[in-house]
Amino acid sequence: MPKPAVLVARAVFPEVTARLAAHFEVESNSADTIFTPAELSAKLVGKAGCFITGSERIDAALLDAHPQLRAVCNMAVGYNNIDVEACNARGVLATNTPDVLTETTADFGFALMMATARRIAESEHFLRAGQWTKWAYDMFIGPDVHGATLGILGMGRIGQAIARRGALGFGMKVMYHNRSRLDAALEAPLGARYVSKEQLLREADHLVIVMPYSAASHHAIGAAELALMKPSATLTNVARGGIVDDAALAQALRDRRIAAAGLDVFEGEPKVHPDLLTVPNVVLTPHIASASVATRRGMADLAAANLIAALTGAVPPTPINPQVLPLK
Ligand code: DGY
């Protein structure tokens, strides 16, 4: 029996491609081209499954063009690039990579928040530019992290892992807003207080955004929300571009409506709003929160395990829409 054909839509660890090749005819993309929707569609001709990342959009039109496609396996926990309703309607399995990246992403979110508060990037640029001529009492002073109020917007696995770092490691007071309140057993060890979004914005010294992106969370943080924050507060986003209105944030940073921001994700990335590139009080990183060697490998292995299970009749480890199983 011929092996099913699959597309690995982006470059990935060679060992992971080799693992897939033991089960499938693999078309890979070692040149790591970002396919246009038309190119992706052309590559999917005859494919039963697809290993994708957040850069590939799976929508109803693509699925309709490829009725033979049975599984789309995302190497990411966020899956706003996949129209899950469209997958459900066509019996296509979608999978993601939760859990394996929680601690690594929380490490990065906390590091980015600290770099933002303590002005690490801004002061490093100053030093590299040869502008450091003397010590000064007020040079790059900023807010403390320890003992401050940590506000978390989106208290899922990653939000809770950031809260643990803040509460247990840095003596921070934790408040959060989420679609639903956590169980008391989860709140208690962190001393975490569930508050309204408005209270979170008004009272947080350091706001960290870790909520999923959806149409409902588009521009959840815009000019009106930024206006509620303390002028001394920082904002860190390690969730998704589009949750924050980047133009409004750049204006708030320029006007010192808030003290500083740390951004790992952007609207329309890899493009970055030009105004963010010219304000000094923002730390910018290229969507690398999950980028430790072990975690990226864990994500790739999990996406591959999902694809292998989906197309060999086994139960995939982390399905998004298990209701479509067993696959046709
Ligand atoms: C994720 O897993 O969602 C990260 O943002 C990497 O894309």
The answer to whether residue 261 scores a pLDDT higher than 90 is yes
Residue-level pLDDT at 19: 98
The mean pLDDT value of the chain amounts to 98
The answer to whether residue 213 scores a pLDDT higher than 80 is yes
The answer to whether residue 71 scores a pLDDT higher than 80 is yes
**78 alpha carbon – ligand 1 mean position (Å):** 5
Q: What is the mean pLDDT of residues 304-315?
A: 97
Q: What is the mean pLDDT of residues 221-227?
A: 98
- In tens, the pLDDT along 79-121 reads 999 999 999 999 999 999 999 999 999 999 999 999 999 999 9
- In tens, the pLDDT along 11-63 reads 999 999 999 999 999 999 999 999 999 999 999 999 999 999 999 999 999 99
Residues 6+ apart with CB under 8 A from 6: 20, 24, 25, 26, 27, 47, 48, 49, 50, 51, 307, 311
Residue-level pLDDT at 120: 98
Distance CA(226)–CA(248), nearest Å, equals: 8
Q: What is the mean pLDDT of residues 131-159?
A: 98
The answer to whether residue 328 scores a pLDDT higher than 80 is no
Task: Report the nearest-CA residue for atom 1 of ligand 1.
Answer: 76
Judged by DSSP in three states, 50 sits in strand
Mutate to test the pocket of ligand 1, among 55, 74, 77 (most ligand atoms within 8 A of CB): 77
Judged by DSSP in three states, 25 sits in strand
| Contact call for residues 115 and 142 (beta carbons, < 8 A) | no
- Which one of 202, 218, 254, 287 is the catalytic residue? 287
Residue 66 appears among annotated catalytic residues: no
Residue-level pLDDT at 1: 82
Q: What is the mean pLDDT of residues 192-202?
A: 98
Residue-level pLDDT at 290: 98
Distance CA(73)–CA(310), nearest Å, equals: 9
Alpha-carbon distances, residue 326 vs 52, 62, 93, 169, 302 (angstroms):
21, 22, 9, 45, 19
β 5-8/206-209 pair status = unpaired
Residue-level pLDDT at 188: 97
Helix (H) or strand (E) holding 284: strand 282-284
Distance CA(49)–CA(32), nearest Å, equals: 18
Residue-level pLDDT at 187: 98
